[in-house]
Each structure stands twice: as structure tokens, then as C-alpha cells.
């Protein structure tokens, strides 16, 4: 009897040892690698919404700069140009979260079809008014619907990835890929807007922006097979899924953080345009902004491909500190080469902050409110950009050339102070069904 028990025990120990070694080998082989971009892009049906989505998300990168260049040309004032662009940005920031919420509730197609039509019509109206030397209040009146109707393609694409890749390890790769795509639009958009406005006609940027929105938005909306089902993720628990993402303290901290990032985009757009005009080389505006955006895109590609061991909270703190330091040197640059180098550095610091912020949303916000959370962050960038173009335009008109570069410094430093003070709110909290309903009971333990 004792011999049988001993033999059985030895056999079990041997089996456990083999299982442990197998598990160790399995973990070792699986742990270090993250599914790559190539595997993601081979997802069936992905290109049907990626290509039209890329065209339709250009407005976010082209709109502000196209308005600044057109209105400055017709009025001769960067202050007026910045104010008109700011009204558009504020409208975009205010209405973006509601657009995301409506898309969740009624479907993306139902929101996109009327939205792109309104945007194209109001953008062309704004163009005609500017060319007709209409008063500033008339430009503001046309700028409101232009900004309010900007299609929120980025969050919609993220939502489509979430449905296609549900439960797949490619979800994290898709989040990084979308952030890189956002950065790529900031390379293509400003270059295209500047080239059209300077080489073709001051109004060509806004006309092209309206055309891309209309064609890309309609093609994107036509992809019914990849559209998330209406109410996807709700699971019938409306009390949880329809709660506003603003009720999450960490989201409010991220909104302030993204406002600072928006101040960099807006301040760079106006100040680079003013700087290149002051040296008699307005065509360099697109080149310098393209260098800034290229740094943004390249660092985003690297950041998204790395399997990070450092927590996203720490990465955000370190990355945002680097961004504030880099942005603080822009106002002192007085040559094209120095400004290009600093712009590249600032751009390289922005993408990690954006990607990490979107990554934190995954842990902070319940699934049913994430699309709205993404639109709040996108709207925060637009609002920060709007405020920055207004203040930068006033500084460029009233003080020395390059004074507008003080805005990115001020915006990022203030946001960094807020981030450091409230960093504890970025810690992920459970948001399962029970916790969200306020039950919070401990899971029952199994008893043999």
C-alpha cells in the first residue's frame, strides 16, 4: 500500500514538473512578442474601411490650417484668421462627444450621411464668405456648423476594430496603429493644405478639405458589413453602457492633458506660418510643419510596436515632461534649421503621449463608453488647438515674430502641472457589470 502511494506520488511530482517546464516554455515563447502591424492589416475586410477612413479623417488635419491661410490672405490679420479657426475648433470640440454618443446609439451610418453633407456645404459657404470679404461675424456663423459637423472618423474606425478583433491579442496593436494613422494625417494634411493654398489658390485648401470629407465619408458609411451593430457592447445593461465617460475622474485628467497637446498643434500652425512669411519663404510653412508631424508619426510607429514593461501611467508622466521641455524652447528659435530640429523633437514627444492616453482609456472606461471617451479626447485636442490659434494669432499680431510659440510652452506646462497633481486618478479601476451597478460583492469561492 505504502509503495503504491509513493510510486503514485513520484509519478505525480514528475508529471507536475513536466507541466511546469511546458508552461514555462509556453510563457517564454508567447510573452515577449506582440502581434505586428502586418498581421493586423491582413485582417479580413480591414482595408474596406481603412482607406475611405483615411481620406475622411483629413479634415482634422487640414481644416484649421486651411482657414488660417485663407482668412489671413483675405483680411491680412492672423488674429482674425485665428479667431475664425478657433470658432471651428470649439464647435468641433463641443459636438464631437455627442456625435460619438449618437453613433453608438443609432449607428455610424445614420450619423455620417447627414454629417458629411452638412460639413461640405458649410465649408464651401465659409470659403465663399471669406473670398467675398464678408464681416468676421459672418465667418463665425459659417464656422460653427463647419466645425460641429466634422465627422469623427478616428473613433469610428477604433470602434470597428473593436468589433472585428473582439477577444484577439491584435486589439492593442490596432490601438497603436490608429494612433500612428492619426499622426500620418498630420503629415499629409498640413502639407496638402499649404501646397494648395500657396501654389493653387488661397481657397483651394478648404475646397479640397470639403471634397475629401464628402467622398471619403460617404464611402466609409457605405461599408455596412464592418459597422458595429447599433448598441454594440450594451449587452442589455443600459444603465452601465450609457453612462457618460466624463463621470470617470481619469478621463477628465486626460482631457486636460490632451488640451495641452492641442495647444502645441494650434500654436505651431499659426506661428510657423507667421515665421515663414516674415522671412519671405511662405512655402516653407508646410515643410516645417511636415517635419514636426513626421517626428510625431515616426515615434508613434516605434511606440506602438514596442511591448512596454513600464506602466502607461509612468510612460505618460515621463513623455509629457519631455514634451513640455521641448515645447519650451520653440520661442527662442530664430533660424529655419534650429526650428526644424526643435519641431522634430516636439513631434517625437507628442505621439507617445497620445498613444499612452488612448491606452489608458481601455483600463479606465467601461467598454460601452469608450467611443464617447475617445471623442472627448479628440475634442479636447480640437479645443486646445482652437484656443492656441486664437492666442497665437493675437501674439503674432501684437508682439514680435515668433511670440506665438509661447502658447505651446504655456499649454504643455499647465497640463503637466495638472497631470502631476492628479496622477493617482489615472489608475485603472474595475468597471465590470457588478462594480458599475454599485454592487461590488466579492466573487464566491469554490468549495470542494
Query: For residue 330, what is the enclosing H or E element?
Result: none
State the average pLDDT over residues 302-324: 83
pLDDT digits (tens, 9 = 90+) for 378-432: 888 878 887 888 888 888 777 776 778 889 999 999 999 999 999 888 876 654 4
Rounded distance, CA 221 to CA 231, Å?
17
What's the chain's length in residues?
448
DSSP for residue 198: I
**Residue 367 predicted with pLDDT over 50:** yes
**Residue 233 predicted with pLDDT over 50:** no
**Residue 53 predicted with pLDDT over 90:** no
> Confidence class of residue 242 from pLDDT cuts 50, 70 and 90?
low
Provide the pLDDT for residue 241. 45
Provide the pLDDT for residue 258. 93
The sign one gets for the Cα dihedral 64, 267, 180, 297 is positive
Count Cβ atoms below 10 Å from residue 298 Cβ, excluding itself.
17
Is the separation of the CB atoms in 24 and 191 below 8 Å? no
Is the separation of the CB atoms in 49 and 157 below 8 Å? yes
Helix 406-421 and helix 312-327: axis angle, to 10°?
150
Rounded distance, CA 407 to CA 327, Å?
9
pLDDT digits (tens, 9 = 90+) for 205-229: 999 999 999 999 999 988 888 887 7
State the average pLDDT over residues 341-350: 89
State the average pLDDT over residues 301-325: 83
Is the model more confident about 367 or about 356?
356
Rounded distance, CA 371 to CA 374, Å?
5
Q: What domains are there in the chain, each with its CATH number? A: 42-229+245-428 (1.20.1250.20)
Provide the pLDDT for residue 446. 36
For the chain, the distance separating the N- and C-terminal CA atoms, rounded to the nearest angstrom, is 26
DSSP for residue 309: -
Report how far apart, in Å, the C-alpha atoms of 184 and of each of 254, 347, 426 are: 22, 12, 27
Amino acid at each position: 500500500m505504502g509503495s503504491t502511494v509513493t510510486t503514485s506520488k513520484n509519478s505525480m511530482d514528475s508529471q507536475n514538473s513536466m507541466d511546469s517546464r511546458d508552461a514555462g516554455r509556453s510563457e517564454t515563447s508567447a510573452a515577449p512578442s506582440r502581434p505586428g502591424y502586418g498581421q493586423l492589416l491582413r485582417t479580413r475586410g480591414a482595408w474596406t474601411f481603412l482607406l475611405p477612413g483615411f481620406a475622411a479623417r483629413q479634415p482634422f488635419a487640414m481644416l484649421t490650417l486651411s482657414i488660417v491661410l485663407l482668412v489671413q490672405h483675405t483680411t491680412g490679420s492672423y488674429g482674425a484668421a485665428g479667431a475664425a479657426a478657433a470658432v471651428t475648433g470649439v464647435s468641433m470640440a463641443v459636438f464631437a462627444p455627442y456625435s460619438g454618443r449618437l453613433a453608438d446609439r443609432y449607428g455610424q451610418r445614420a450619423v455620417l450621411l447627414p454629417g458629411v453633407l452638412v460639413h461640405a456645404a458649410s465649408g464651401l459657404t465659409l470659403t465663399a464668405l471669406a473670398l467675398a470679404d464678408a464681416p468676421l461675424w459672418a465667418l463665425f456663423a459659417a464656422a460653427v456648423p463647419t466645425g460641429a459637423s466634422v465627422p469623427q472618423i478616428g473613433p469610428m474606425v477604433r470602434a470597428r476594430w473593436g468589433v472585428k478583433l473582439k477577444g484577439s491579442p491584435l486589439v492593442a496593436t490596432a490601438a497603436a496603429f490608429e494612433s500612428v494613422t492619426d499622426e500620418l494625417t498630420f503629415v499629409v494634411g498640413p502639407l496638402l493644405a499649404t501646397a494648395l493654398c500657396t501654389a493653387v489658390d488661397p481657397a483651394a485648401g478648404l475646397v479640397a478639405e470639403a471634397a475629401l470629407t464628402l467622398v471619403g465619408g460617404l464611402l466609409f458609411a457605405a461599408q455596412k458589413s464592418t459597422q458595429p451593430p447599433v448598441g454594440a457592447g450594451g449587452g442589455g445593461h443600459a444603465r452601465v453602457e450609457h453612462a457618460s465617460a466624463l463621470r470617470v475622474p481619469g478621463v477628465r485628467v486626460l482631457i486636460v492633458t490632451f488640451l495641452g497637446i492641442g495647444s502645441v498643434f494650434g500654436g505651431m500652425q499659426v506661428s510657423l506660418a507667421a515665421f515663414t512669411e516674415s522671412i519671405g519663404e511662405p512655402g516653407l510653412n508646410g515643410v516645417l510643419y511636415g517635419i514636426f508631424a513626421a517626428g510625431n508619426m515616426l515615434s508613434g510607429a516605434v511606440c506602438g510596436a514596442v511591448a512596454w514593461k513600464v506602466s502607461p501611467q509612468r510612460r505618460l508622466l515621463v513623455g509629457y515632461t519631455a514634451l513640455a521641455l521641448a515645447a519650451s524652447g520653440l520661442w527662442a528659435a530664430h533660424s529655419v534649421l534650429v526650428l526644424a530640429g526643435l519641431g522634430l523633437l516636439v513631434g517625437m514627444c507628442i505621439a507617445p503621449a497620445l498613444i499612452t492616453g488612448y491606452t489608458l482609456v481601455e483600463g479606465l472606461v467601461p467598454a460601452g463608453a469608450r467611443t464617447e471617451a475617445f471623442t472627448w479626447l479628440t475634442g479636447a485636442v480640437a479645443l486646445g488647438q482652437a484656443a492656441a490659434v486664437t492666442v497665437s494669432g493675437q501674439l503674432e499680431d501684437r508682439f514680435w515674430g515668433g511670440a506665438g510659440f509661447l502658447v505651446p510652452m504655456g499649454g504643455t506646462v499647465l497640463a503637466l502641472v495638472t497631470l502631476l497633481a492628479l496622477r493617482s486618478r489615472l489608475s485603472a479601476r474595475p468597471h465590470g457589470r457588478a462594480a458599475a451597478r454599485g454592487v461590488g460583492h466579492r466573487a464566491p469561492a469554490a468549495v470542494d
